[in-house]
């Protein structure tokens, strides 16, 4: 898509400030001089100046002209570095997301400053403070434990005043920062409706409670059940946190999980990794995965292909690209908008079609 003319003017002025051609208090070229330089209309020049005024780069003084205003706008010289903060790096869907981000940023001559939080709030705090000190031109963030109150809110509030930000996968609900993510409500609905269409009514679910995608997928699950007038048994919904993974699915809590999902013909898992944990749990307890109980995951990862698991897709590489493109647009024009990607089922063999709910043996404790 062709760059708007007013953006070309904006970028030239910012570039001249960045190079030191214009310093704080210097007089900017007049409207007529800018019209002649770019061969653009007066309306285009005025729009560019107006937007730079709003951003705090220029100040119009009636009867005198337009002046550079750097002192009070926290102008930061371009570093050509973008901060990327993500929960994990070298496993699951994260390498593809990073590759997508890196492709777009490198094509636009930006470098990546990478931080990994391992979904730990204190680690996120430390990385954010480091990004402030490094004076990056923008940040792309996968929020840590995005469904719980965010102790880093003040840091993000300071960031967004001067540095463009984009969240990926999940965002903190009380921050006005754009999000690029899968449509997780749609994903939860699609997965549930798929099971219903295959004859399942006694559907259990396993969702992550401390990350926002888990809440959105639960919302979609509930919407589908209610729309089909199927009663939801809250006993069959298991919520877990990041820390629970260290013990909940290693065998010690099997008796809890057996009670949780007793009577279910199918289980929706928060992601493909959780589906793998569920398969191992079933096998330990003489339950046949996919046969006794159908399973659906999320993310359509390499793991789902290995398991032959039906899964809701995740755009991965494309999501990374779109997030990086969104950030660059924000840097250049100030334009900010959310991006939601369509969720679709990728069918494999993990869902059995039932003629009725007595079609398969349900395990009993």
Q: Tell me: the pLDDT tens digits for 111-160?
A: 999 999 999 999 999 999 888 777 789 999 999 999 998 888 888 887 77
CATH superfamily of 81-182+316-343: Response regulator (3.40.50.2300)
Q: How far apart are the first and last CA of the chain?
A: 61
Higher pLDDT, 204 or 69: 204
184-314 topology per CATH: Rossmann fold (3.40.50)
Task: Give Dmax (Cα) for the chain.
Answer: 86
* Sequence-separated (6 or more) residues with CB below 8 Å from residue 297: 269, 271, 272, 274, 275, 304, 309, 310, 311, 312
pLDDT digits (tens, 9 = 90+) for 304-336: 999 999 999 999 999 999 999 999 998 887 788
pTM of the model: 0.79
pLDDT greater than 90 at residue 24: no
pLDDT band at 26 (very low <50, low <70, confident <90, very high): confident
pLDDT greater than 70 at residue 365: no
Q: What is the mean pLDDT of the chain?
A: 90
pLDDT band at 363 (very low <50, low <70, confident <90, very high): low
One DSSP character per residue, 137-166 reads SEEEE--TTTTS--TTHHHHHHHHHHS-EE
Q: Supply the pLDDT for residue 184.
A: 98
Mean pLDDT on 157-165: 81
Q: Supply the pLDDT for residue 1.
A: 53
Q: Supply the pLDDT for residue 357.
A: 57
pLDDT digits (tens, 9 = 90+) for 66-111: 888 765 554 556 778 999 999 998 778 999 999 999 999 999 999 9
Q: How far is the CA of 95 from the CAs of 91, 155, 274, 292, in angstroms?
A: 7, 27, 19, 34
pLDDT band at 364 (very low <50, low <70, confident <90, very high): low
Q: Supply the pLDDT for residue 133.
A: 77
pLDDT band at 358 (very low <50, low <70, confident <90, very high): low
pLDDT digits (tens, 9 = 90+) for 173-198: 788 899 999 999 999 999 999 999 99
Q: Return d(Cα 143, Cα 296) in angstroms, integer.
A: 25
The reply to whether domains 5-68 and 81-182+316-343 share a CATH topology is: no
- The CATH number of the structural domain formed by 5-68 is 1.10.10.10
Query: Which sequence spans correspond to the domains of the chain?
Result: 5-68, 81-182+316-343, 184-314
* Sequence-separated (6 or more) residues with CB below 8 Å from residue 121: 144, 145, 151, 152
Mean pLDDT on 238-253: 88
pLDDT band at 3 (very low <50, low <70, confident <90, very high): confident
pLDDT digits (tens, 9 = 90+) for 278-312: 999 999 999 999 999 999 999 999 999 999 999 99
């Amino acid at each position: 898509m062709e760059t708007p003319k007013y953006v070309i003017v904006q970028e030239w002025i910012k570039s001249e400030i960045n190079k030191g051609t214009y310093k704080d208090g210097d007089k900017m070229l007049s409207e007529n001089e800018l019209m002649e330089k770019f061969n653009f209309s007066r309306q285009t020049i005025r729009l560019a100046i107006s937007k730079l005024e709003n951003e705090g780069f220029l100040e119009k003084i009636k009867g005198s002209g337009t002046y550079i205003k750097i002192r009070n706008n926290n102008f930061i010289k371009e570093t050509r570095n973008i901060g990327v903060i993500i929960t994990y790096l070298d496993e699951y869907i994260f390498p593809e997301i990073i590759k997508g981000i890196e492709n777009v940023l490198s094509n636009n001559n930006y470098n990546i400053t990478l931080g990994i939080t391992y979904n730990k709030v204190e680690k996120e705090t430390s990385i954010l403070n480091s990004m402030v000190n490094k004076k990056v031109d923008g940040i792309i963030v996968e929020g840590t434990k995005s469904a719980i109150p965010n102790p880093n809110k003040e840091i993000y509030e300071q960031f967004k005043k001067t540095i463009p930000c984009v969240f990926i996968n999940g965002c903190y609900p009380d921050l006005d920062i754009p999000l690029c993510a899968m449509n997780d409500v749609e994903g939860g609905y699609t997965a549930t409706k798929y099971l219903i269409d295959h004859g399942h009514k006694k559907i259990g679910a396993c969702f992550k409670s401390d990350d926002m995608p888990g809440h959105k997928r639960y919302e979609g699950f509930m919407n589908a059940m209610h729309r089909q007038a199927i009663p939801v048994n809250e006993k069959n919904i298991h919520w877990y946190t990041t820390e629970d993974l260290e013990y909940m699915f290693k065998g010690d809590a099997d008796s809890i999980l057996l009670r949780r999902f007793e009577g279910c013909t199918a289980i929706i898992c928060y992601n493909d990794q959780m589906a793998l944990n569920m398969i191992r749990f079933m096998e330990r307890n003489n339950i046949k995965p996919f046969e006794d109980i159908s399973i659906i995951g999320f993310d359509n990862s390499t793991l789902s292909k290995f398991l032959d698991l039906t899964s809701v897709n995740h755009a991965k590489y494309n999501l990374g690209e779109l997030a990086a493109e969104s950030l660059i647009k924000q840097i250049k024009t100030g334009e900010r908008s959310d991006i939601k990607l369509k969720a679709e089922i990728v069918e494999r063999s993990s869902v059995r079609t039932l003629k009725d709910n007595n079609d398969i043996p349900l395990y009993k404790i």
